[in-house]
Amino acid sequence: MSSRYGEVYQSWQKDPQAFWAEAAGELEWIRKPNKIFDESQGVYGRWFPDATCNTCWNALDRHVEAGHGERRAIIYDSPVTQTKATFTYRQLRDEVATLAAVLTDNGVTKGDRVIIYMPMIPEAVMAMLACARIGAIHSVVFGGFASKELATRIDDAKPKMVLTASCGIEPGRVVQYKPLLDEAITLSSAPPEKVLLLQRPQAQAPLIAGRDMDWATQIAAAKAAGKMAACVELNAIDPLYILYTSGTTGIPKGVVRDHGGHMVALKWTMTNLYNIKPGDVFWTASDTGWVVGHSYICYGPLLQGATSVIYEGKPIGTPDAGVFWRVISEHKVVALFTAPTAFRAIKKEDPNAEFLKKYDTSSLRALFLAGERADPNTVQWAEDCLKVPVIDHWWQTETGWCIAGNPMGLGLLPIKHGSPTVPMPGYDVRIVDEAAQPLANGKMGSIVIKLPLPPGCLPTLWQNDARMQDSYLSEFPGYYKTADAGYKDETGYLYIMGRTDDIINVAGHRLSTGGIEEVLASHPDVAECAVIGIKDDLKGEAPCGFVVLKSGTTKAHDKIESEIVQLVRDKIGPVAAFKLAITIDRLPKTRSGKILRGTMKKIADHDAWTLPATIDDPAILDEIAAALKRKGI
Ligand code: COA
Ligand code: AMP
């Protein structure tokens, strides 16, 4: 089949508002949009400003009302707890309406924030949808973050309530969430009034009287009283959620998503990008703590009336490198979406894909990859194993959905390894130089998107229009700065080569080296430091911290280094995957005092590098190389 991509992209270019008005027709509105886009509102304009709707209605009730209540909404598959469960759309709607009633009974109302700090269990998705139902704004915090990170998010979002569970399960250890939450609340300047805690059998958490409530007890009481909350009428431009993501400092950015534009954009992608029909089983192997989980574990598949797999496990070790194939064959998954690192892990463990022979994966139509650069070797390996199209696509927490991809629903375009293919309708993607001037095909530059951003992308940062302007809109006036660098080839295919800021990508997780440096600098023996991301075969990049100690420090260097590693784990969390601290005598700098992180990275990665003309003392680079060598790098 030849692709309709060109024709559809052109129709968007010709009349963006007509394009999104038509897409909006796929959803149910309480008050239909008359005005599609208002450029006078918000930082760069707002989509569907006069419409009203409810995302939870569209994700659940709409399907039940249409007679699909017995269709499976969620399949929960948890190899780490040996549990499986299924919820139909009707069951999920009822669970969500009951939980929403519990929230309402506890004073949570439209516009209130609710933090969700939970592992990959159905209740995490129920919590998100329950908030959406009553217009509360959820903010999910990934379980791998430590107390301080959680506290920072609590301080910014000022939640009325926190929804949590007693624990998460990582291979070989039970992660107790409650002590982390209690410490975060102690650290926080805006403690929540209430905590609703789901006790899991693997760990019982003590409840604090007057603040903490038991999830099961509250739900049972609401059910006994027949309480269910109805969907609340919300403005399409009301916030649905805040999702914090790494910025250049330790203070994360609160990316806001609205109700109307978000559901329109996601629904469009389910049909046209992922080619998913109602009733199809779609599996996103990520976590609800990340944007990929928000969009494609929770909202996208449910808005489409598809069945979403919630997987609590890893690609390897739970129990083996065949578990992805087991889940595909057992649940008849038609499309899998994950990060390349998951496939690198499977490939490393089972290079000849021996486990694949044990399973029938013929239901699978495509593998979608995102979250980090999909290296051609991994893409090739996945294609050879699975014999389905392997589709890389590029997006960010900020956009909430794919900027560039290969639209399977419109007919696939030829796949070029190393490229996420072409911009989706809604995105006018340009490659520019520092003066915002367009660059020729093949030339690498900053990737920017002409404003306005399409529906579904962030309208602003939570209560911080100024930071939104400053971070994304001021450097290239009229454009959104993606902070990614790359180029277009002669056929318009995009290539995403890396970040232009201090963000690194570790196992598909986005981390700020600036944020890690703040932690290193807080160690009493550290005078100066620099963190870089160095090449890692499995995780893409791994953080590496160089520290210069205060003069007169007598403690052994290896002792300080292990304290620093522990400090990052305690302050940011295990997700930082910070394992390498290296003591050096001095940092390489320019004559004006700027640390030469780029050159340090090239040395660590064994890439070719040239001596920066502005370097203060070239001998320091040899010291860096020697220090890395001592650590086996
Ligand atoms: N709660 C608590 N701790 C968590 C956690 C969670 N939800 N998720 C991860 N961690 C911990 C891990 O246990 C690990 O701890 P350790 O240092 O004690 O081993 C640490 O955080 C780092 O985790 P991760 O980077 O995930 O590494 P890993 O070695 O556990 O697993 C992969 C490596 C490749 C298997 C894993 O990263 C993976 O499955 N990736 C899939 C891609 C993905 O989900 N990307 C998200 C964006 S799409
Ligand atoms: P996050 O906001 O955590 O989703 O991270 C977004 C960043 O991950 C992007 O800005 C890119 O740097 C990187 N990224 C995501 N998807 C891709 C991809 N398909 N190819 C290359 N880089 C990607």
Which residues make Cβ contacts (< 8 Å) with residue 361, sequence separation at least 6? 325, 328, 329, 386
- Is the beta carbon of 314 within 6 A of some atom in ligand 1? yes
Select from 67, 102, 39 the least CA-distant residue to 459.
Answer: 39
CB atoms within 10 A of CB 617: 11
- Is the beta carbon of 576 within 6 A of some atom in ligand 1? no
pLDDT 10s digits, 563-590? 999 999 999 999 999 999 999 999 999 9
Distance 579 CA to ligand 2 centre (A): 23
pLDDT 10s digits, 611-627? 998 999 999 999 999 99
Q: Has residue 154 got a pLDDT over 90?
A: yes
> Atom 21 (ligand 2): residue with closest C-alpha?
373
Q: What is the pLDDT of residue 247?
A: 80
Supply the DSSP symbol for 461. Answer: B
Q: What is the pLDDT of residue 248?
A: 74
> Atom 4 (ligand 2): residue with closest C-alpha?
396
Coil vs helix vs strand at 92: helix
Q: Whose atoms come closest to the Cα of 369: which ligand?
A: 2
Distance 21 CA to ligand 1 centre (A): 40
Coil vs helix vs strand at 149: helix
Mean pLDDT in residue range 262-271: 98
Own/partner pairs, 88-95, CB within 8 angstroms, 24+ separation: 89/60, 89/63, 89/64, 89/305, 90/64, 92/60, 92/122, 92/126, 92/129, 93/60, 93/61, 93/64, 93/69, 94/228, 95/122, 95/126
> Atom 31 (ligand 1): residue with closest C-alpha?
314
pLDDT 10s digits, 522-573? 999 999 999 999 999 999 999 999 999 999 999 999 999 999 999 999 999 9
Q: Which numbered atom of ligand 2 lies nearest the CA of 394?
A: 19
Percent of the chain whose predicted confidence (pLDDT) is above 70 = 100
> Atom 11 (ligand 2): residue with closest C-alpha?
372
Percent of the chain whose predicted confidence (pLDDT) is above 90 = 98
Mean pLDDT in residue range 356-372: 98
Q: Pick from 245, 284, 392, 395 the residue to mutate for probing ligand 2's pocket: most ligand atoms within 8 Å of its CB.
A: 395
Q: Has residue 328 got a pLDDT over 90?
A: yes
Q: Has residue 490 got a pLDDT over 90?
A: yes
Q: How many CA atoms lie within 13 A of 325 on its CB side?
A: 20
Distance 566 CA to ligand 2 centre (A): 27
> What average pLDDT is seen over the chain?
97
pLDDT 10s digits, 197-244? 999 999 999 999 999 999 999 999 999 999 999 999 999 999 999 999
Domains of the chain (ranges, CATH numbers): 5-313+393-486 (3.40.50.12780), 507-630 (3.30.300.30)
Q: Has residue 632 got a pLDDT over 90?
A: yes
Q: Which numbered atom of ligand 2 lies nearest the CA of 483?
A: 10
Q: Has residue 1 got a pLDDT over 70?
A: no
Q: What is the pLDDT of residue 251?
A: 83
- Is the beta carbon of 371 within 6 A of some atom in ligand 1? yes
Distance 340 CA to ligand 2 centre (A): 11
> Atom 7 (ligand 2): residue with closest C-alpha?
396
Q: What is the pLDDT of residue 608?
A: 94
Q: Which numbered atom of ligand 1 lies nearest the CA of 345?
A: 34
> Atom 4 (ligand 1): residue with closest C-alpha?
144
Q: Which numbered atom of ligand 1 lies nearest the CA of 292?
A: 48
Q: Has residue 249 got a pLDDT over 80?
A: no
Q: Pick from 150, 170, 202 the residue to mutate for probing ligand 1's pocket: most ligand atoms within 8 Å of its CB.
A: 170
- Is the beta carbon of 297 within 6 A of some atom in ligand 1? no
Q: Which numbered atom of ligand 2 lies nearest the CA of 398?
A: 2
Q: Which numbered atom of ligand 2 lies nearest the CA of 397?
A: 2
Amino acid identity for residue 112 in this structure: D
Q: Which two tokens stand for residue 555?
A: 């403690």
Q: Has residue 250 got a pLDDT over 90?
A: no
Q: Which numbered atom of ligand 1 lies nearest the CA of 317?
A: 35
Q: Which numbered atom of ligand 1 lies nearest the CA of 290?
A: 47
Whether 439 contacts 431, CB under 8 Å: yes
> Atom 3 (ligand 2): residue with closest C-alpha?
510
Q: Whose atoms come closest to the Cα of 376: which ligand?
A: 2
> Atom 18 (ligand 1): residue with closest C-alpha?
574
> Atom 42 (ligand 1): residue with closest C-alpha?
339
pLDDT 10s digits, 419-453? 999 999 999 999 999 999 999 999 999 999 999 99
Ligand 2 cavity residues, CB under 6 Å: 245, 291, 370-374, 392-397, 420, 484, 496, 499, 505, 510
Q: Has residue 100 got a pLDDT over 70?
A: yes
Select from 626, 538, 554, 616 the least CA-distant residue to 584.
Answer: 626
Instruction: Convert 202-271 into a string of H (helix), E (strand) and C (coil).
Output: CECCCCCCCCEEEHHHHHHHHHHCCCCCCCCCEECCCEEEEEEECCCCCCCEEEEEECHHHHHHHHHHHH
- Is the beta carbon of 292 within 6 A of some atom in ligand 1? yes
Whether 150 contacts 289, CB under 8 Å: no
Going from the C-alpha of 587 to that of each of 93, 227, 439, 593, 624, the distances in angstroms are 57, 62, 34, 10, 8
Distance 313 CA to ligand 1 centre (A): 10
Q: What is the pLDDT of residue 15?
A: 98
pLDDT 10s digits, 373-405? 999 999 999 999 999 999 999 999 999 999 999
| DSSP line for 562-604 | HHHHHHHHHHT-GGG---EEEEES---BBTTS-B-HHHHHHHH
